[in-house]
A = this chain, B = another copy of it.
């Protein structure tokens, strides 16, 4: 069955049943007064300061339906927005969706997309409270707006010279995962399954030749296709400035520095990369340094903290790595021999500008 057989009103009713009528108690606890199905949602926020962010995903720009499953797409849409809320030191709460799909879209695709959204909002403790459904003539477009709470928002502008610069997790995994997918495109690796499973791996004949195992590529694919946003809860009281890495380490660092009117010195050797990314980039002839510094969609947190901050003392499940320090001005990269060079703010920019 396709959307043209279901129609907008019936689809709305399916969404409403799935998301809005699950638990009236929970709805009340969350401060939701009017849920999906009116001209606007009504909430009674439980905090004095609200965070509001929005991010969109456009087919053939942000995603390729031969690489990603609808489940992963739905999950990622929520994650990239949650990441923005965490990057402000907040907690995500209320979600609105704008979805434009071609009328020939299969019902199973739509269901799987909403499965991904549902699993993600459960993971982050978010409620879907509204949205807009549209048709599209060609590409699918999905945008989400997410509202969160923050006691003390952590801005991009608070970094001071002398602060150290930290990142969560490892960088370049997502970009590396994308390269793996590009090389496997004809096999439509992931589009066959709801989640990434080893069962799909035998399909990728190409990779058998490289000697790469499923255990190596699975975490890279997962980081690209359905990243989990990093909860900043344990960082808030230390962080002087924070940003999430969506367009690439160097470009996002330069944004934080611009807002803070400061500079940075980054020690290249300290940039954390995973063993999987090392293996895969080596086997496939990829430049891991470039992926880790200019590859987009890491969705790790970059933050600054005063020199006395001790990341080891934190009960955070994620590795936190110091990669440099905030300076008065200028952006400098230091290589393993101590050689300095100007750090170029490279990363993903829409409209494909050439410099």
Residues of B within 8 A of A11 (CB): 351
Question: Could you tell me the distance between the alpha carbons of A61 and B3 in the complex, rounded to whole angstroms?
Answer: 15
By the criterion CB–CB under 8 Å, are B145 and A145 in contact? Answer: yes
Q: Known contacts A103-B352, A141-B100, A350-B135; is A51 also within 8 Å of B41 by CB?
A: yes
A7 lies within 8 A of chain B by Cβ: yes
A94 lies within 8 A of chain B by Cβ: yes
Residue on B with the closest CB to A100?
A: B58
A87 lies within 8 A of chain B by Cβ: yes
A137 lies within 8 A of chain B by Cβ: yes
By the criterion CB–CB under 8 Å, are A148 and B58 in contact? Answer: no
Residues of A within 8 Å of B, CB-based: how many?
78
By the criterion CB–CB under 8 Å, are A132 and B54 in contact? Answer: yes
By the criterion CB–CB under 8 Å, are A39 and B62 in contact? Answer: no
Q: Which of A42-50, A169-177, A304-312, A317-325 contacts B (4 or more CB under 8 A)?
A: A42-50
Render A1-40 as a binary contact track against B, CB cut-off 8 A, 1 for contact: 0011111111100000000000000000000011001111
By the criterion CB–CB under 8 Å, are A8 and B40 in contact? Answer: no
By the criterion CB–CB under 8 Å, are A148 and B40 in contact? Answer: yes
By the criterion CB–CB under 8 Å, are B155 and A34 in contact? Answer: yes
A259 lies within 8 A of chain B by Cβ: yes
Which of B5, B130, B147 meets A353, CB within 8 Å? Answer: B5
By the criterion CB–CB under 8 Å, are A137 and B61 in contact? Answer: yes
Question: Could you tell me the distance between the alpha carbons of A143 and B144 in the complex, rounded to whole angstroms?
Answer: 10
By the criterion CB–CB under 8 Å, are A60 and B350 in contact? Answer: no
A127 shortest CB reach to chain B, Å: 12
Residues of B within 8 A of A37 (CB): 156, 259
Residues of B within 8 A of A147 (CB): 52, 147
Render A177-210 as a binary contact track against B, CB cut-off 8 A, 1 for contact: 0000000000000000000000000000000000
A90 shortest CB reach to chain B, Å: 7
Residue from A4, A88, A98 with most neighbouring chain B CB atoms (10 Å): A98
Residues of B within 8 A of A244 (CB): 39
Render A91-104 as a binary contact track against B, CB cut-off 8 A, 1 for contact: 00010111010010
Question: Could you tell me the distance between the alpha carbons of A351 and B105 in the complex, rounded to whole angstroms?
Answer: 9
By the criterion CB–CB under 8 Å, are A52 and B130 in contact? Answer: yes
Residue from A39, A129, A243 with most neighbouring chain B CB atoms (10 Å): A39
Residue on B with the closest CB to A156?
A: B38
Question: Could you tell me the distance between the alpha carbons of A137 and B39 in the complex, rounded to whole angstroms?
Answer: 31
Question: Could you tell me the distance between the alpha carbons of A243 and B37 in the complex, rounded to whole angstroms?
Answer: 11
Q: A44-B48, A45-B45 are in contact. List 8 more A-B contacts (CB 8 A).
A: A4-B351, A33-B49, A34-B155, A39-B156, A53-B96, A53-B130, A54-B96, A136-B141
What are 12 A-B contacts defined by CB distance under 8 Å? Answer: A38-B155, A40-B84, A40-B87, A45-B45, A50-B50, A54-B98, A54-B131, A56-B100, A58-B100, A61-B137, A133-B350, A135-B352
